[in-house]
Amino acid sequence: MKKYILGVAVLAFMLFSFNTPTEYLTIKNIPEQQVSKGKLMYNKVCMSCHQMNGAGIPGAFPPLAKSDYLNADVDRAIKQVLKGSLGAITVNGKKYTTPMPKQDLTDQQVADVLTYVYASWGNNKSVVTPEMVKKIR
């Protein structure tokens, strides 16, 4: 029982110790619940490559933070998540060639995770809806 309690305590500490960007919580046009769900999905699906702070891994995985590629075209970002990519892309002046696998997510999950990403790390605050995702799908 002590191991179980200790394990839960460690997990809770890890989950709540990450710095959460608060800038998105004050923006009227961004649904807070969608961002919260998007953050959970990001941590589950995207974080291992794009990192907790959206900085990516230089030379391997592009940054999502302050990303010119991401901010230039919401439809392209949706397509990237839905269909993945094999070709090279240039993000903030640097070329990335690591393929991105398509993500098996619902329209709502794609909308949530992209809304979270757009609301974080200096991005353009775009709100992605399930209808937008469905149109691209």
HSE-CB of 115 using CA atoms within 13 angstroms: 26
Confidence at residue 17, expressed as pLDDT on a 0 to 100 scale: 43
- Please check whether residue 38 is in contact with residue 125, taking contact to mean a CB–CB distance below 8 angstroms: no
CA–CA gap between residue 51 and residue 84 (Å, rounded): 18
CATH architecture of 20-136: Orthogonal Bundle (1.10)
Confidence at residue 31, expressed as pLDDT on a 0 to 100 scale: 82
Confidence at residue 84, expressed as pLDDT on a 0 to 100 scale: 95
Q: What is the pLDDT of residues 53-82, one digit of tens each?
A: 999 999 999 999 999 999 999 999 999 999
- Please check whether residue 78 is in contact with residue 128, taking contact to mean a CB–CB distance below 8 angstroms: yes
What is the overall mean pLDDT for the chain? Answer: 85
Whole-structure pTM value: 0.78
The segments of the chain whose pLDDT lies below 70 read: 1-28
Query: Domain limits of the chain?
Result: 20-136
